[in-house]
């Protein structure tokens, strides 16, 4: 097991090698790859290391990370964005100073900003707004990884998450002013912190909700975020509806209904993707966004209120089942689903995100998608092929796709 000083030393070496990429020279990439290979040989020369991504100790974690560094560095030779990869590798040193959620956001942002600022300054192409945006989004992704309670290799996962996040946003080429980013981040963070304090989300839920909220605002406008916020608020209230009864039946949400990253992403990832595509086709992706959020709230209300129903039937066979069974539907649940969809669509209408003529399409799409969720729950989720969060994601995505078919 490595000592704290040894861990910091190895992290500094990995991050230091990544800094060579700031030199705008194709040969620098080859030097970096060679340096990582040499480091791997030296590091593992006296040990019999094996790939172990779960329950990995520090030595195994560094072995994994150096291998990842070699792979990612090599991919830059075939077109992967250099600064995205090497900025992520530079964050290895920031991982050594991790503490709590807010501290992690700050430390990862500082290190990310330092790398991008140096990289673009040396290449005479610095855009401060872009640097802040990349630094903050990468920091949120990295902090989310740190907040998740898992036995996976965190050092390895932080690099992979940051590299993926940076690369995605280079592809999307999102341009945002510092003021817009600051407002989006501050608003998302404050509201997520409030939700955490109220017991509606855990630390990973805080990170993921902040990330989704920030990206939604900078990709669209505050009205879209208001719709998303309404889902979180109503969903949280409904989760606690007759909570004691659901607790007695053993079907209540754990931790008093506090939502984690999996639940947040499952219900909001499709909406975030539609928001990020908003600039391509404003009308369609607005409808898709609203439909996906309406599906999320409708499904949440159907599930949480339906758990208290006396008569529940399996959607595939209409056989009577216990409340809380995957794919179970009830009269009160169906009414709750329709109300949930209508709440979101009506709010979008009041905010003038959609026109009245599109209201039937969005309500219909979301209501159908809610039942797609039930069908998947009764089949693939019950058999263990899908998780509940993945079922939620597919259903919310289907709502947007169905809107597209009806919109044509």
Residue 223: what pLDDT? Answer: 94
* Of the candidates 143, 53, 40, the residue with the CA atom closest to the CA atom of residue 91: 143
How far from 203 is each of 147, 217, 229, 259, CA to CA, in Å? 6, 21, 18, 9
**Rounded Cα distance, 210 and 181, in Å:** 12
Q: What is the pTM of this model?
A: 0.83
Residue 45: what pLDDT? Answer: 78
Q: Residue 241: inside a domain, yes or no?
A: yes
Q: Residue 25: inside a domain, yes or no?
A: no
Q: Residue 333: inside a domain, yes or no?
A: yes
Banded model confidence at residue 227, pLDDT cuts 50, 70, 90: very high
> If phi over 0 gives left and psi between -120 and 50 gives alpha, with beta otherwise, what is residue 257?
left
Question: What average pLDDT does the segment 236-260 reach?
Answer: 71
Q: Residue 168: inside a domain, yes or no?
A: no
Banded model confidence at residue 200, pLDDT cuts 50, 70, 90: confident
Residue 256: what pLDDT? Answer: 58
Q: Which domain holds residue 330?
A: 222-408
**Rounded Cα distance, 5 and 292, in Å:** 48
Banded model confidence at residue 103, pLDDT cuts 50, 70, 90: very high
**Rounded Cα distance, 310 and 330, in Å:** 8
The four Cα atoms 321, 325, 328, 331 give a dihedral, to 10 degrees, of 80
Residue 46 clears pLDDT 80, i.e. is over it = no
Q: Residue 250: inside a domain, yes or no?
A: yes
Q: Residue 178: inside a domain, yes or no?
A: no
Number of residues written out for the chain? 408
Q: Residue 40: inside a domain, yes or no?
A: no
Query: Are 47 and 35 contacting, i.e. CB atoms less than 8 angstroms apart?
Result: no
Cα–chain center distance at 101 = 15
Question: What average pLDDT does the segment 152-168 reach?
Answer: 91
Residue 237: what pLDDT? Answer: 86
Residue 247: what pLDDT? Answer: 72
Domain count, the chain: 1
**What is the per-residue burial (b if ≥16 Cβ within 10 Å, else e) of 153-189?**
bbbbbbbbbbbebbbebeeeebebeeeebeebbebbb
Q: Residue 183: inside a domain, yes or no?
A: no
């Amino acid at each position: 097991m490595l000592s704290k000083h040894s861990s910091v030393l190895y992290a500094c070496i990995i991050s230091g090698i990544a800094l060579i990429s700031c030199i705008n020279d194709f040969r620098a990439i080859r030097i970096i790859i060679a340096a990582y290979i040499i480091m791997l040989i030296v590091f593992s020369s006296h040990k019999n290391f094996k790939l172990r991504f779960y329950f990995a100790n520090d030595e195994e974690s560094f072995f994994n990370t150096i291998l990842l560094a070699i792979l990612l560095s090599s991919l830059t030779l075939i077109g992967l964005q250099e600064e995205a990869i090497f900025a992520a590798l530079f964050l290895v040193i920031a991982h050594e100073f991790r503490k709590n959620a807010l501290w992690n956001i700050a430390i990862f942002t500082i290190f990310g900003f330092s790398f991008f600022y140096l990289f673009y300054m040396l290449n005479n192409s610095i855009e401060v707004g872009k640097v802040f945006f990349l630094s903050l989004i990468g920091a949120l992704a990295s902090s989310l990884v740190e907040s998740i309670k898992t036995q996976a290799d965190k050092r390895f996962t932080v690099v992979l998450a940051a590299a993926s996040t940076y690369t995605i946003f280079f592809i999307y080429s999102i341009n945002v002013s510092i003021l817009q980013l600051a407002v989006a981040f501050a608003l998302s963070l404050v509201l997520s912190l409030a939700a955490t304090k109220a017991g509606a989300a855990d630390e990973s839920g805080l990170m993921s909700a902040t990330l989704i909220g920030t990206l939604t605002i900078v990709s669209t406008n505050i009205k879209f975020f208001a719709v998303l916020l309404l889902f979180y608020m109503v969903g949280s209230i409904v989760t606690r509806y007759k909570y004691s009864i659901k607790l007695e039946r053993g079907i209540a949400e754990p931790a008093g209904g506090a939502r984690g990253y999996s639940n947040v992403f499952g219900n909001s990832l499709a909406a975030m993707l539609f928001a990020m595509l908003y600039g391509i086709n404003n009308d369609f992706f607005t409808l898709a966004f609203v439909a996906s959020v309406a599906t999320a709230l409708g499904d949440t209300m159907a599930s949480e209120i339906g758990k208290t129903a006396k008569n529940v039937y399996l959607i595939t066979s209409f056989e009577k089942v216990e409340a809380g069974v995957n794919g179970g539907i009830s009269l009160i649940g169906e009414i709750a689903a329709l109300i949930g969809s209508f709440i979101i669509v009506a709010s979008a209408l009041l905010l003038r995100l959609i026109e009245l003529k599109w209201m039937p399409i969005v309500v219909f799409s979301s209501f159908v998608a809610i039942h797609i969720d039930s069908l998947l729950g009764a089949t693939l989720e019950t058999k263990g092929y899908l998780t509940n969060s993945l079922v939620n994601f597919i259903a919310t995505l289907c709502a947007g796709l169905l809107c597209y078919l009806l919109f044509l």
